[in-house]
Amino acid sequence: MVWFSNRTNIKIYFTFTLLAILMSSACTQEESPRQEKTEAVAKSPEAKPFRIIKHDGNWPQFRGAYAAGVADEQNLPLNFSGVTGEHIKWQTNIPGLAHACPIVWEDKVFVTSAISSLGDATFKHGLYGAGDASEDTSSHQWMLYCLDKKSGDVIWERLVHQGVPQDKRHIKSTYNNSTPATDGRYVVMLFGSEGVFVYTVDGEFVWKKNIGRMNVGAYNAPHLEWGPASSPIIYRNKVFIQTDTSDDDYVLALDIHSGDLVWKTERDELPGWGTPTIIHGPDRVELVTNSSNFIYGYYPDTGQELWRLGGSSQITAPTPVFSDSIIIVCSGRGPEAPVFAIKTGVRGDITLPEGQTNSKDILWSATKVGPYMPTPIIYRGYVYTLNNNGDFRCYDLETGQKIYSEKIPHRGGGFSGSPVASDGKLFLPSEDGDVFVIKAGPQYELVATNDMGERIMTTPVISEEVMLVRGEKSVFAVGY
């Protein structure tokens, strides 16, 4: 979710989007990740060397394994349409409202939703300034659907929870913003203050846990209730949850089999909507969280803090991403709106002195350019950032040199979903319902604009030559 601010006035303008897109934003990640296989590609005089990133077909969290959002050798169509049906293999209607992304394990697609008892619940998309909460505080049903990846048929559905929401939601949000996570055995769902719920991939209930109220709103107006969006992730039989609210702030690990608390690390933070990421560096594994006062690195086994970095925004949403030994963390509220390129393996307080853009721990950084909502993507040696208003930037991953800055020609609604990449192309979903296809590399080229016919607040999923796009009412399977 995201807000814009007037830099000459203390009045905050909000443009709110939640996902897990955003959220988003949740997968099992192994010490030796099965999801990702790479193949080196020889360097040419015209391009940077890069690796082909192959996947086994699973997309088990927000933005896939490690939130990377990349799957090559997928043979996806460049032109498709939810309006005409061009290259749409199937389309399945999902009741209710949700900004949660689908996830995939083998031949199963898992989708969650929150269904209002009023029957006509809506959200307001677009670039606007308002911090209002939705008037819909009626009883809801939180659902889990399992779809067949090949046909889109509903294999089974489960009523996970029912009741009146404990918190309100922003008018741009829903009561289901967090993307679920799976490890191929369990499906983990975080429904904010309603709790954590776990089912098997075959639809059997396993456990639920109340982790307290997640009262998330404006950092300087705690009476506003906008709703949470951070998504759970899974790693080595632990479920990790990041909670930054108007009251309590912590990161915790739960045992995936039982829901028992493994560890809980409290901190002093502002309300936030970031999803944590497991980072595999050359020397160690870290759990990295994007937060307002500090960006943190933790030991995933114990919750012990490894490092912290100040200088972020007072509103944070994008998920940390990494490639090899470089971690990219962004946030978009001014005046900071930073992009940081952090080395793995660092320790202690690595906050940059005022006016300094790099150090022995920070490869490079930039300010006033970070994205509010969409998570950045690292692909073939470049970092791409997409802002809510369509500002699209490309940086050299290692040096931070800005390669280009362009404006995506959207229809006015802007962007909340995050880019994904495949076979030298970037796919950018817009709130208006268009999926823009951009050629990857140092030269900006808009390849195609594809109208899905529904608003899109989520991030696409790529699995076995199919791209799944969740619209306001449907899940579309794009492919030949």
Output the average pLDDT for the chain: 90
Reported confidence tier of residue 246, pLDDT bands at 50, 70, 90: confident
DSSP of 27-78: BEE-SS-SS-EEEEE--BTTB--EEEEE--S-B-STTSGGG--B--S----S
What pLDDT score does 39 carry? 62
Q: For residue 36, what pLDDT is reported?
A: 53
State the architecture of 4-478 in CATH terms: 7 Propeller (2.130)
User: What is the reported pLDDT for 46?
Assistant: 53
CA dist., res. 93 & res. 88, Å (int)? 14
CA torsion angle 378 384 389 390 (round to 10): -120
pLDDT higher than 90, residue 440: yes
What is the average pLDDT across 405-422?
Answer: 97
Query: For the chain, how far is it from start to end, CA to CA, in angstroms?
Result: 33
Residue-wise pLDDT tens digits, 100-146: 999 999 999 999 999 999 987 889 999 987 788 888 899 999 999 99
Q: CA–CA separation, 133 vs 147, rounded Å?
A: 32
Mean pLDDT to the nearest integer, 9-25: 36
pLDDT score, position 45: 40
The tens digit of pLDDT for each residue in 283-331 reads: 899 999 999 999 999 999 999 999 999 999 999 999 999 998 999 999 9
Better pLDDT: 266 or 216: 266
Instruction: Please say if the pLDDT value at position 6 is more than 60.
Output: no
> Could you tell me the two tokens for 73?
């050798």
Q: Taking a C-beta distance cutoff of 8 angstroms, is the pair 179, 25 a contact?
A: yes
Of 195, 296, 317, 294, nearest to 254 by C-alpha is 195
Q: What is the pLDDT of residue 129?
A: 76
Tell me how far apart the alpha carbons of residues 62 and 192 are, in angstroms, rounded to a whole number: 16
- State residue 10's pLDDT score: 34
| C-alpha to C-alpha distance for 450 and 206, rounded to whole angstroms | 40
Could you write out the DSSP letters of every residue in 166-227?
SS--BTT--S--SPPEE-SSEEEEE-GGG-EEEEETTS-EEEEE--------BTTBTT----
**Predicted local confidence at residue 133, as pLDDT:** 83
Whether the predicted pLDDT of 37 surpasses 80: no
- Euclidean distance between CA atoms 367 and 334, whole angstroms: 9
Q: Is residue 34 pLDDT above 50, yes or no? A: no
Q: What pLDDT does residue 104 have?
A: 98
Task: Tell me which residue has tokens 């303008």.
Answer: 13
Q: What is the identity of the amino acid at 362?
A: I
Pairwise pLDDT comparison (55 vs 41), residue with the higher score = 55
Give the number of other Cβ atoms within 10 Å of residue 264's Cβ: 14
**Residue boundaries of the structural domains of the chain:** 4-478
pLDDT of 383 higher than 50? yes
